[in-house]
Structure 1
Amino acid sequence: MKKTSTYPVSARGPADHEVRDQIVAAATEHFSRYGYEKTTVSDLAKAIGFSKAYIYKFFESKQAIGEMICANCLRQIEAEVSAAMAETDLAPEKLRRMFKAATEASLKLFFQDRKLYEIAASAATENWQAVVAYEGHIQKLLQDVLQEGRQSGDFERKTPLDETAKAIYLVMRPYLNPLLLQYSLDYTEEAPMHLSNLVLRSLSP
C-alpha cells in the first residue's frame, strides 16, 4: 500500500516548527476537556502559556488549529485502513478489510472523546479542506483496489472505474462521516460484512 497521504491545512510559519506541534497538542487536550465550540483562541493562549499574538503567527484562526487536529485524526484512520488492506494480496479481501477497518477506526476516533467529536462534526458540516482531502484519498484507495480486482479477473470491467468507486464510497459514507455515523451505531458490527459482501456480488464479472 502507498504511504499515507498528506492533508492540506491552513497554517502559518515554518511547516516543521516544533511550536506548531506544541500548540496542536495543547489545543487537543484543551478541546477534549472544554469542547471545541466553547474554546476561544484567548482561552488556548492562556492554557498554553503563549500570547494570543504568538499563536496567530502559526495559525490564522481557531478553525485552522481544529483542522490540524482533524487532519491528524483522518490521517490515522487512513493509516489503519491501509495497514489492514496490506495484510492480503486478494482484491476482494482488501475491499472487505477496507470496510471493516474504516468503520472501526472511525468509531474509535470519532467517539472515544465526545468533546473532540465537536471538531469532527464541525469539519464535516463545513466541509473543511482536510475532510475533502480524506474523502478523495478513500476514493483513490477504492479505485486502486478495483483496478487490482479487474486485472486479476475478480471484478467486472464494464462500468467506468470512477463511477464504481464513487458508488462504493457512497455505500461506505454513513460509516465514515461523523454526522452520519452517530445514526448508524446499531449497525456498525454487522454492516461492514453485509455491505462489503453485497458490493462484492455486484462486482462479480
Structure 2
Amino acid sequence: MGRKKTPLSDSLAVKASIVDAAEALFRSVGYSKTTVGEIAKALGMSQANVYRYFPTKASINEVICERVVLRIEDRCKSIIDSTSSAQQRLSLFMLEYFRAVKDNVIKEQRVHEMVVKAVEQYWTVIQEHVNRMDIMVQGILSNGIKAGAFKEVDIPATSLALQNAFSAFTYPALVERQIADAANSGGEKRIEADLLNLAAIVLRGISA
C-alpha cells in the first residue's frame, strides 16, 4: 500500500497544479491576458481557492518565471561540468546561455513576454537568477586561475564585467532584438559568430 499523503504534500500538489495550469494558459493566450479566474476555471476550482495557495497572480508569475530561469541555468551547468579547458568552458558557457535565452524567445514567445517584464522590474526571482549565474561565472574564473589558464584577477569584479559585456547576448529583450535584426543580416549564425568573437577578445585579456 502507498503511504498516505500528508496535508503538506496535498498542499504542494495543489500549488503545482495551479502553476501548471497557469503556465499552460500563458503559452496559449499569453501572460498579460491570463487571469486568476481563468486559472481557477481550468482547474475546476474557485478563485478563492487559488488565492488560498497564492495571494496574488504575481506570486504565481514568480514561480513560473523561476521554472524558466532554472531551465536556462540547467543548460549552462552542463557546460561547467564538461571537461573542456577553462577558455573553452567560458566561451561555451556564454554561448549556451545565449542559446537557452534564444530558445525561450522563439519557442516560448508568450512566456518570454513575462520574462521580459520580470527583468525590467527586477523581480526577486530574477535577482536570485542573476546571483546564481554570477556564482557560476565566478566558478569558471576561479577554476581557470587555479589551473593556470587565467591570470590572477579580481574574480567578482571580472565576473560582473563579463556579464555586462555579454548582456547583448543574454538580456531577453536584447536577444529578441538581435534575432529580429539577424533575419536581415545573416541569420542566427551571425549572432553566435559575434558572441564567439567577443569571447575571443575577452579571453585574450584574461588568459595567462
* 1:14 Cα deviation from its structure 2 partner: 4.8
| Counterparts of 1:139 and 1:191, CA distance in 2 | 22
Distance 2:91 2:141 in 1: 12
Summarize deviations over 1:48-87 as a string: whole Å, max 9, x none: 2111111111112111111111101110111111112312
Matches of 2:37 and 2:150, distance apart in 1: 54
Alpha-carbon distance between aligned partners in 2 of 1:93 and 1:65, rounded to the nearest angstrom: 38
Aligned partner (choices 53, 56, 62) of residue 67 of structure 1: 62
**Are residues 60 and 188 of structure 1, via their aligned partners in 2, closer, same or farther at CA, if it must alter by over 3 Å?**
farther
Does the 8 Å contact 2:19/2:63 carry over to 1?
A: yes
Identical amino acids, percent of aligned pairs: 26
Map of 1:156 onto structure 2: 151
User: Shift in Å at residue 89 of structure 1?
Assistant: 4.6
Q: Distance in 2 between matches of 1:170 and 1:196?
A: 13
Q: Tell me, which stretches of 5 or more residues in structure 1 are unaligned?
A: 1-12
Partner of 2:165: 171
Q: Distance in 1 between matches of 2:112 and 2:44?
A: 25
- In the other structure, the counterpart of 2:111 is 116
* Rounded Cα–Cα distance in structure 1 between residues aligned with 2:35 and 2:171: 25
Shift of 1:40: 1.5
Q: CA deviation at 1:194?
A: 1.2
- The alignment partner of 1:154 has SS state of coil
Instruction: Give the CA RMSD over aligned residues.
Output: 1.7
Going by fraction, where is helix more abundant, 1 or 2? 2
* Structure 2 unmatched runs, 5+: 1-6, 183-189
TM-score with structure 2 length normalisation?
0.86
How far apart in 1 are the matches of 2:124 and 2:21?
22
1:17 aligns to what SS in structure 2? helix
Judge which range, 111-120 or 178-187, deviates more. Answer: 178-187
Question: What is the rounded CA distance, in whole Å, between the counterparts of 2:95 and 2:113 in structure 1?
Answer: 24
Are the aligned partners of 1:103 and 1:188 in contact in 2 as well (CA < 8 Å)? no
Aligned length: 192
1:180 aligns to 2:174 (yes or no): yes
Name the CA distance, whole Å, in 2 between partners of 1:77 and 1:155. Answer: 26
Whole-angstrom distance in 2 between the partners of 1:170 and 1:88: 26
Q: Work out the CA distance in 2 between the residues paired with 1:14 and 1:173.
A: 40
Deviation per residue, 1:161-182 (Å, 9 max, x gap): 1110100011222222212211
- Which has the larger Rg? 2
When normalised by structure 1's length, the TM-score is 0.87
Larger RCO, structures 1/2 (Cα 8 Å, 6+ apart)? 1
Mapped to 2, the partners of 1:72 and 1:55 lie a distance apart of 19
The answer to whether residue 75 in structure 2 is matched with residue 80 in structure 1 is yes
Secondary structure, counterpart of 1:38 in structure 2 = coil
Show structure 1 runs of 4+ deviating over 6 A.
none
Contact 1:110–1:120 (CA<8 Å) still a contact in 2? Answer: no
Q: Is the 8 A contact 1:86 1:94 kept in 2?
A: no
Distance 1:174 1:62 in 2: 30
Of residues 200, 204, 207 in structure 2, which corresponds to 1:201?
204
The answer to whether structure 1 residue 190 and structure 2 residue 184 are counterparts is no
Q: Which amino acid aligns with 1:191?
A: D
Distance 2:102 2:8 in 1: 33
